Amino acid sequence: MAESKFGQFIAQPFRIYPPDLARALTEWLYDDPSNPVRDDPKLWEKGPQVQSVNRTLQFGSLSSGASSTQRLSIVGGRNAVVVSRSAVVIPAELGSPPVVLPNERSSFVNVEVKRTDGFAEVEDQPMSLAWGTMPGIPYQPPAPARWTANVDRVIKVTNNTGATASVYLSWLVYILDTGR
Amino acid sequence: MAFIPPEFAGYAEKDPGFALAMTKHLYGDPSYPGANRPELWADGPKVQFVNRNLTFTDVPATPGANTSEQVHDLGGGRNYILFGRSVTVLGSTARTAQLPNQDTDFINYQEEVLFGRAIVEEGPLSIVFGSTPAFPYALFRPELGFGGMLRRYTLENNTGTVVSSVILGFQLALLDTGR
């Protein structure tokens, strides 16, 4: 493992990853100004813990053919590690019986994700290509993504299902639980 | 010890030479201002995973005229690393619901670089692409793609009806230089 100016501490949830990645993820969260003990790495091990949270963005009752845009700040100004994402499209009119497979409408809703600095992370495309739409199998990038605090995402959803539907996007995120 | 970005640490454990090649492929690309200053790479831009796509619309099904092709540069002029791909086929007849993989046996796919080498020989989408959402076709070894090296993507529609859209998705790593 490469040397680090912060020492060898690796947060518990990241120990499943290769050591150099695990340490980079640890430092991404602990070496953030929102951490009160940021400047004292020897306290990191006894300091705030890494907490996994699910964050969800809802586009409710989106008319057929309509697009909707929302701005996402996933943890409100703190660095975050995004591990996976998933999504579901729920039609306004449920059939009988009201059964919805999470992926059966996922080709009919487009999703685009752009950072506010203009970088396109997910080009406009059906969510089935770029999003986790199978229960229990969220979409995972090849390595967890380190999201920078205060770099928001602008997320556009387009409903091509032919009927009104609600779209839920979800992210599994690791943040530092500093109690605030 | 040479710099390897943490995103490639899993490869570095198993095959350090390949991880180094992946690193040099992105950071040594002339589109990155620090390409010739390896000592700056560790403090330089991060590796960013992105989803790119290529859309074919109104692919005809007429016998003898049922192909459609596009020439495309996935990295937009920059070097990239391809990790996986996925696809969906949308019929011309509107459906209220459809599993993303149900028509992928009926569209053939071929991919070649412009100087003629076939990257993917012609075959059904279902066997060369991931066709289940959230479970893209992951390459056994990430492919190092060169910016500016155009590829020709060809589809052949064997569904018997016009297909309104075939959308190909690609999971790439790019260097996040902010442009």
pLDDT digits (tens, 9 = 90+) for B115-125: 878 889 999 99
pLDDT digits (tens, 9 = 90+) for B17-26: 999 999 999 9
Express as a percent the part of chain A with pLDDT over 70: 97
User: Reduced to 3 states, what is the DSSP secondary structure of residue A49?
Assistant: strand
Q: Locate the domains of chain B by residue range.
A: 45-175
Q: Is the pLDDT of residue A180 over 70?
A: no
DSSP code string of B99-162: -TTTTTTSEEEEEEETTS-EEEEEEEHHHHSB-BTTB-EEEEEEEEEPTT--EEEEEEE-SSS-
User: What is the topology classification, in CATH, of domain B45-175?
Assistant: Jelly Rolls (2.60.120)
pLDDT digits (tens, 9 = 90+) for A9-38: 999 999 999 999 999 999 999 999 989 999
Q: Are B60 and B156 in contact (CB under 8 A)?
A: no
Looking at chain A, which residue has its C-alpha nearest residue B48? A145
d(CA A38, CA A28): 11
Amino acid in position A166: S
Q: A-chain residues within 8 Å CB-CB of B171?
A: 141-142
- ipTM field: 0.88
Q: B-chain residues within 8 Å CB-CB of A145?
A: 48-49
Residue B99: what pLDDT? 81
Q: Strand order in A80-91's β-sheet?
A: A49-62, A165-177, A80-91, A145-147
Residue A104: what pLDDT? 86
Q: Is the pLDDT of residue A1 over 70?
A: no
Pull the structure tokens for residue B178.
């902010």
Q: Are A62 and A168 in contact (CB under 8 A)?
A: no
User: Reduced to 3 states, what is the DSSP secondary structure of residue A61?
Assistant: strand
Please provide the CATH number assigned to the domain covering A52-177: 2.60.120
Type and span of the H or E element at B71: strand B67-72
Question: 106-145 in A: which are within 8 Å (CB) of B?
Answer: 106-108, 117, 119-134, 137-139, 141-143, 145
The pTM of this model reads: 0.90
The position carrying tokens 């070496």 is A31
Q: Answer yes or no: do A143 and B134 touch at CB < 8 A.
A: no
Q: Are B26 and B145 in contact (CB under 8 A)?
A: no
